[in-house]
Every structure is written in C-alpha cells, then in structure tokens.
Amino acid sequence: MDFIFVIVFGGLWGSFANVCIYRFPNNKGVVSGRSFCPNCKIKINWYDNIPLISYLVLGGKCRNCKKKISIQYFIVETLSIILFTSIYYKFGASLTTLYLIILSLSFLIIFFIDLKHFIIPNILTFSLMIIGFIKSFDPNLNSMFPNYINSLIGGIFGYGIIWLIIFIYKTIRKKEGMGLGDAKLLSAIGFWFGWVSIPFVIFLSSIIALLSVIPSLLKNSKSMSSQIPFGPYIIIGTLVYLFFENSFKSLLF
C-alpha cells in the first residue's frame, strides 16, 4: 500500500515537474493557471492530465487538435516515479527520503530545461544551496550528508572550481566556455554532499560528456567548440558518484 501511494505521489510530482520544465524558461508562474495544449492553447481537462495514463489513453496526442504531445512528458513522469520509489525503497519513511525526493525532483527539472534551453534557473540552484546547507546542521541524517563545515566548504569549492575553469578558458580562448549556471549547480551539490564529492562529480561528468559527444565528433555533426548543456552531465555524474559513494571515498581515505 505504501508503494502505491509513493508511485501516485511520484507521478503527480512528475506532472508538476513537466509544468516547471515548460514554464520556467518562459518566465511563467507554476502555481497558477491550468495546463493547456502548447499548440491549440485549449485548457486540459483533469481527466486528460492524469500522469502516464492520460498520455497512453490519448495515444500521445491532444484530444482537441490531435497534435502530437512530446514524449518528454511521459519520460519525466516515468523517471519521477522510478526515482521516488527507489529512494523510498532504500531509505523508507524518513527525513533523508524527503530531502532526496526534493533533490531528485529539482535534478529532473534542471536536466530537461538545460538540455533544451541551455539554462539552469537560479530559483532551483539557489533553493538547493539553501536546503543543502540547512540540512547539514542535523546530525541524525544519513551519513552521505556532510556536517555544516564540510557542506560550506563543498559549496564554495564547487562554485569556485567551475568559476576558475570559466576564467582560465575565457583568458586563453577569449570567449565563454561554460556558464555560471553550471557553477551554481556544482555549488549546490557541494552543499548537499560535501567537498569530497566535487572532484569525483567533475571527473565523472566530464568523462560522460566526452563519451556522449564522441559519435557526433566522428560524424562531424559537432566540433570541439560546439555548445553542449553541461548541467545534465553534472547531474548524471552526481548520481553515479552517489551510487558508488563508498568506493570513491575509499580512494581518498
């Protein structure tokens, strides 16, 4: 019964994540106004807005104009359910679960916004920084979370190292290489998981990014100077780090 509730909960928040992914880049509010079809602008009825189910029933098309609905909506809701149930399965009904659900939902929104628009909204990164630091004062949370000193060092270190990379690249190449949105995201990760996570996340995200663009480089559809959104790779790198956290930490300690 608990998992049914978590699945429904994950689907509903996944639907909210889709609203944020669409509205944040367009500077629109996310708490007011019903959802509508981007094509015909007709407001969507509640029975056509049920996570996963409505998409399948409608065949991935708007009921009114029959325009195809982006598969992204289905993917985001599915990922939200998977993340919520996985976190609950591992940590149960706990404060750690609540924090990780907040983090995973924020990651999901950032991932798809940066992937499409090459931006990371400040409202998300600043909120994650604040929450990440505040929770570090609770000594009863899971050991994956650092104390407030390591959290503060991690936040400063995460921002500083990306800022330094941007500064060096701009000095040498005379143009922008990365955005400060990436620095803020890595700072938030530092606040959440401490300074020790930063070197591993940077290394993992860089390797994953390189591996993902190699096929495009070989096909000449992209060059080394082509713009790519780095936020999604930082998020994937963070998830890999958390999955193998103990193994990575044993390399340093």
Query: Which residue in the block uniquely carries the two structure tokens 């591992």?
Result: 90
Residues in the chain, overall count: 253
Is the separation of the CB atoms in 35 and 49 below 8 Å?
Answer: yes
* Token pair of 55 as six digits: 């998409």
- Our CA angle for 75, 81, 87, nearest 5°, is 130
The answer, yes or no, to whether residue 1 has pLDDT greater than 70, is: no
Residues 197-229: pLDDT tens digits?
Answer: 999 999 999 999 988 888 776 776 565 556 788
Task: Please list the residues that pair with 20 across neighbouring strands.
Answer: none
Q: What is the mean pLDDT of residues 6-23?
A: 93
Report residue 15's pLDDT band, with 50, 70 and 90 as the boundaries. Answer: very high
What is the three-state SS of the chain?
CHHHHHHHHHHHHHHHHHHHHHHHHHCCCCCCCCCECCCCCCECCHHHCCCCHHHHHCCCECCCCCCECCCHHHHHHHHHHHHHHHHHHHHCCCHHHHHHHHHHHHHHHHHHHHHHHCCCCHHHHHHHHHHHHHHCCCCCCCCCCCCHHHHHHHHHHHHHHHHHHHHHHHHHHCCCCCCHHHHHHHHHHHHHHCCCHHHHHHHHHHHHHHHHHHHHHHCCCCCCCCCCCCHHHHHHHHHHHHHCHHHHHHCCC
Q: Taking all residues of the chain, what is their mean pLDDT, rounded to a whole number?
A: 89
Strands (E) in the chain, as ranges, are: none
Burial class (CB in 10 A: 0-12, 13-18, 19+), 148: middle
pLDDT of residue 84: 96
The answer, yes or no, to whether residue 177 has pLDDT greater than 70, is: no
Query: Which residue in the block uniquely carries the two structure tokens 């190449």?
Result: 173
* Token pair of 132 as six digits: 């990440």
Report residue 74's pLDDT band, with 50, 70 and 90 as the boundaries. Answer: very high
Is the separation of the CB atoms in 189 and 230 below 8 Å?
Answer: no
Domain ranges of the chain: 1-93, 121-253
pLDDT of residue 169: 82
pLDDT of residue 127: 97
Q: What is the mean pLDDT of residues 122-138?
A: 96
pLDDT of residue 221: 59
Residues 37-50: pLDDT tens digits?
Answer: 777 878 888 787 88
Q: What is the mean pLDDT of residues 78-100?
A: 95
Answer with the residue of higher pLDDT: 223 or 235: 235
Answer with the residue of higher pLDDT: 156 or 177: 156
pLDDT of residue 172: 84
Answer with the residue of higher pLDDT: 62 or 155: 155
The packing angle between helices 122-135 and 148-173, to 10°, is 150
The answer, yes or no, to whether residue 18 has pLDDT greater than 80, is: yes
> Which range (61-75, 101-115, 207-221) has the least confidence?
207-221
pLDDT of residue 41: 77
